[in-house]
Structure 1
Amino acid sequence: MNTADLGLPVAVPSTALFTDQYELTMLQAALRSGTADRRSVFEVFTRRLPEGRRYGVVGGTGRVLDAVENFRFDETILGFLRERGILDEPTLEWLADYRFRGDIWGYPEGEVYFPGSPVMRVEGTFAEAVLLETVILSILNHDSAVAAAASRMSVAAGDRPLMEMGARRTHELSAVAASRAAYVGGFHTTSDLAAGFRYNIPTVGTSAHAFTLLHDTERDAFTAQVETLGSGTTLLVDTFDVTEAVRTAVEVAGPGLGAVRIDSGDLLLIAHRVRHQLDELGAGKTKIVVTSDLDEYAIASLAAAPVDAYGVGTQVVTGSGHPTCSMVYKLVARADGEEPGTPLRPVAKKSMGAKTSHGGRKWAARRVDEDGVAVAEVIGTGPVPAELADRQLLVPLVSAGKVVAREPLDAARDRHIAARDRLPLSATQLSRGEPVLPTEYV
């Protein structure tokens, strides 16, 4: 029996080692120099969107909150750091009591973002905030990339359902995160049971070609599946001859057959042929599901085909060619002293080329036109203009170390659809182009 069933706490793995060593060595040096307790503000943003993308999608916020809560240095972790000689004893003692006690603000999960958008702002002492850099970036960069790819595929699919089925194409833990991010981006179901268990995402799945090949005949395989799962199941019809398989499928399951799946070949041509054949066989309500290395462009090319649902694997879990969003975590403001209430002053990296940052603790708002359509992403460090006061994008996520923004995953999914619908129509074009909104600094 799970300990939770007995009302006992369930052990949650620490996320403290999901970090880079230099964050800990910076901590040690800051403790030694007396600057560790300076109030600091870090922001997460990207300087550019992946090539050709018109908008980004914030994914992984809920997972970041979990990671921050579980960022703890227990005796095992401290022993590892001590054995490796990575840190001195005063720093290890400091880490033993580590809890993030600061504030985190951010764009709510599912919201869209653009170059420069401060999608997350972490405020606290330098010591407590700097340690969170890698774990926050690893989650947001991965999940936002998947969510953006999923969103584009959702646009291409229109009102046809999308099934995420890429678990076998990525790391087993990344697969669970990718399923979650794809759901935020507009997918409807997943084949990954771990994702279904952890995040309550609807799951789907029936059979593969191996099940057909196991049996002596295709009819035997179909019969076994229908007798087990019922006539509403989905039968895979491209193991041998599609036309013969469709005929056999309807004979075995009857006209109430739920769906047939096509996983290879010219999907546009085959889908038309199969639809015609199903109608002739009296299976007019049997649906057609297509899979086979689909991406947003392949899905869009099937818009005129008689397809009822899409199954997407590799391309969605790898961000459809853009597996990261290139988000960074930068110190943008800090106090000159350790005393509480010391004013913040802006700081920023001044590099040659495209890596220059904008200093200062920022707010963000989205300007809209008279029809409520977004026209600009506005970012500033001073007072918020009155006309943008009710258009601000950052919301409190963590307050004084306590998570204050838990929400169901469906809330993030619904938010994304609403945010995307408020963008200009050109945002949904799959052709390459610049971000659909300009970023204005005021």
Structure 2
Amino acid sequence: MLTAQAWIGRSVACACGQTHHVPIEKVCIGSDMLERLKAYAAAQHAEVWLIVSDANTHPLLGGATASALAAAGHKVDTHVFPETHDLLPDRPQIEAVRRRIRETGAQVAVAVGSGVINDITRYASFKESIPYVVVATAPSMDGYASSVAALQFDGLKTTLPAHTARAIFADPSVLARAPWELIQAGFGDLVGKTISLLDWKLAHTLYQEPLCAAAYELVQKPLKACIDAAEGLRSRDAEAVRELFLGLVNAGVAMAMVGNSRPCSGSEHHLSHFWDLLAYKGRRAHASHGHQVGYATTWMMKFYRLLPQIDELVQPRPRTLDMSWREWVREFYGDGAETVEAAQARKAERLAARQDHWRGWSRKSILAALQPEFSWFAQVERALGVMGLADAGARLEIDRPILQETFEHAWELRDRYTIFDFLAGQDRMAWAVEAVLG
């Protein structure tokens, strides 16, 4: 299997025409990871290290990480968020870590935790121009090796450029003991790549959006392996959990290779981001990103399954960002409206400039291009059921009215082309939403 090790720490001239540079220096997964962290730290010529954790991860591994680095002769400071849940990667938390970096004179930040801790530390260290290292506590998300930070500003999920971790350390025994909901979240985040890869390939097929086959494969192969290993994850089999973590790291490396989240974030993530926005507005409780993405994947497969029912394709209708739409956006999104409007304006302009690429495509040729991923759908559905994510709507407080609102508006949150844009371009969105909801 193609792994992240083939790409990290060096520049590689790729067949896609780009030279990929993934600046991760080390990925270490083993029971001796703290000893290997000490050896790594000794070679960094950095005296002051800041450990960033929360009330859950500090007693689990943050304290041990601080003690190991201190025993190796480094000056170690800590920043422990008091939250046990619902910590958000927002401006106040990022500023708190930035302030702590300046106060301590830290030369390296260490994120001990998973999703939110990683994103906060990644972005804060990036803004303060110091490197950071990850000590993972759960196989819960794909951001460990990513070069972007998933943040939440003004209620909107936003992905901003940052930097990759210099090194990633994980102990499989710790990963396997992670709370079940975090293992579910990691699987949900990884299985969502079934849709993001389809959206990427659809945009490449119809509009010649650049697609790197190596990055695609780096995500696709471990994704398929984890789908097949759902029962092992359910029983917390150590090797299955390790494979899940490696798949998540591979996904992050793929994002670092192409310089954005395109390989790993498509329409399934747009649904999750919209649900986050509704939670910010108080219309539902905040929920795990990975659980939301896994649940969203069940719905997005339904949209893709509608493609064979579209008998005749038409030249796509350009998106019209009329005044009534802009007024609705400003009312609904508030402070985030400008971001939404700008994203849709960029997408409309880009698609208009590439209309000539569309000519000659038929339903049959599009389905042929997407068939490899379509062939997995039955296995994906089974795996989501095994992992307890297929029927998570009630637990996530997502009912039919929320689903309809989400399907009608989730496309607004990003400038990325997805199946929603395809359906809208065919003037089939209302039909598709009705068909999917039954």
TM-score by length of 2: 0.26
Specify which structure has the higher proportion of helix: 2
Q: Which has the higher contact order (CA 8 A, sep 6+)?
A: 1
Query: Which protein is bigger by CA-based radius of gyration?
Result: 1
